[in-house]
Amino acid sequence: MQPNVKPIDCLHFINGEFVPSGNGAVFENINPATEEVLGTVALGGKEEIELAVAAAKEALKGPWKKMTATERVNILRRVSELIMERLEELAVLESLDTGKPLWLSKSIDIPRSAYNFQFFADYIRTLGTEASQSDDIALNYAIRRPLGVVGLINPWNLPLLLLTWKLAPALAAGNTVVMKPAELTPMTATVLAEICRDAGVPAGVINLVHGFGPDSAGAALAEHPDVNGISFTGETTTGKIIMQTAAKSLKRLSYELGGKNPNIIFADSDLDEVIETTLKSSFINQGEVCLCGSRIYVERSAYQAFLDKFVAKAKELVVGDPFQEKTKVGALISEEHFHRVTSYIELAKEEGGEIILGGRRPEGLEKGYYLEPTIITGLNNNCRVVKEEIFGPVVTVIPFDTEEEVIEAANDTHYGLSATIWTNNLRRAHRVAGQIEAGIIWVNTWFFRDLRTPFGGMKQSGIGREGGVHSFEFYSELTNVCIKL
């Protein structure tokens, strides 16, 4: 099946208008599945960020400030509706940009993007603040107000889903924003700006600047003194650079960074259920998901049975054209990332690992950045392949003997984003979950999200939490008012 939606050239969106860069500079947008040029993208930098931030700052004083919460809610709901009305178009653009299968874009990425706006539109209606009485002396209550101009810096793996996860609560709280999407995936962010305008978002409230990170648009956004906060999802090293830059003006930061997540499988779990979900947590979206369970630990008595079934099922996964219905694993995001992921496979061999499945480009796919699902055994927790985030369809499988051993192994990393535990022993589930150093822990499931719950990581996997009230704690300021009685 060939896409019936044409790629778009991407311009900046500043103060309600689509505009080119001041110097006319552009860069090419490459289809990772075919290596063909999809179109051009305006190359923004400090000049475009200055214009966007100025527009956002001015918009804080305009109609957006005077709108009631109900009026903002109605706009957010309209954004959600328009995203679903353009589902097919957005799904095709997302798959062209990322290389992910079209069915994945249509079933998860775009519907979840629409739901983010719906959820935060509903949630803001229920949100209150605290009040307390100091005996008969005084009454204290808190007023919630917008943080101000917020910079949203987005990754390339789930471009629209993660951008709307930030944009929806930022707007619900009354902020104005400057968005900097990943340079590798610019198209759906561009369409989102158009959708927001069509839904009634006033000019200047939403601004979009395309470009690169260091020494470009991303750096200019992070260091701008009129930007009150930065919400960033991406790689840990980049997060450290943004933190250093943002420190000059003491910006508020919200980070969801990398992960090297353990998938812990006890022998008493339902093996068929484990296999079905572990295939997804290992290889969905080509393994380019920060929550993927790339470190698989299996209790020794179940190790071989798991491995045999897991390898057999992984062999059935079809790698190929994102627009073929049978495709389960698409292309990696770029040539650079393809070489990075395959370099870890070579490193695994040097570290004594055995590639028992995959590790190669599939036959017949000479064009595009395709890689077979890869399963590695024979490594221990001291190996770099086990410790470092690979962000591709590559997993390690390691046996363990005791709870204490696997808990120590799971926590032996500077990451702490998520973990999955498989067991039918209720006490063990609670016991182990309480000792794993991760912000999100699933028991007998994976990737299930209730948007009211806290989302984020420990250690070098993030700062702060998103979701429900936690998002509004970042996107708003509280002022305490004390009234003497």
The continuous run of DSSP H or E covering 168 comes out as helix 159-172
Share of the chain above pLDDT 70, in %: 100
In sequence order, the 6+-apart residues with CB closer than 8 A to the CB of 111 are 84, 87
Q: What does the pLDDT read at residue 2?
A: 67
Q: What does the pLDDT read at residue 9?
A: 98
Residue-wise pLDDT for 337-361, tens only, equals 999 999 999 999 999 999 999 999 9
The least confident of 97-106, 210-219, 415-424 is: 210-219
Maximum CA pair distance of the chain? 79
Domain 262-451 belongs to what topology?
Aldehyde Dehydrogenase; Chain A, domain 2 (3.40.309)
Domain 12-257+461-484 -> CATH class: alpha beta
User: What pTM was estimated for this model as a whole?
Assistant: 0.97
- Please check the confidence at residue 3 and state whether its pLDDT lies above 80: no
**Beta strands, E only, 326-466:** 354-357, 374-377, 394-400, 415-416, 418-422, 440-443, 458-459, 462-463
- Please check the confidence at residue 74 and state whether its pLDDT lies above 80: yes
To the nearest 5 percent, what fractions of the chain are helix, strand and coil? 40, 20, 40
Query: For 130-150, what is the mean pLDDT?
Result: 97
Domain boundaries, the chain: 12-257+461-484, 262-451
Strands 149-153 and 176-180: parallel
Residues 334 and 290: their CA atoms lie apart, in Å, by: 17
1 — pLDDT class (breaks 50, 70, 90): low
Q: How far is CA 124 from the centre of its chain?
A: 22
Residue-wise pLDDT for 187-236, tens only, equals 999 999 999 999 999 999 999 999 998 779 999 999 999 999 999 999 99
Residue-wise pLDDT for 355-389, tens only, equals 999 999 999 999 999 999 999 999 999 999 999 99
**Beta strands, E only, 209-292:** 229-233, 252-256, 262-265
Active site residues: 256, 290
Residues 12 and 49: their CA atoms lie apart, in Å, by: 10
Neighbouring CB atoms inside 10 A of 81's CB total: 15
Residues 400 and 265: their CA atoms lie apart, in Å, by: 9
Q: What does the pLDDT read at residue 288?
A: 98
Whether the CA torsion 62, 65, 68, 72 is positive or negative: it is positive
The reply to whether 12-257+461-484 and 262-451 are identical in fold is no
Q: What does the pLDDT read at residue 407?
A: 98
Share of the chain above pLDDT 90, in %: 98
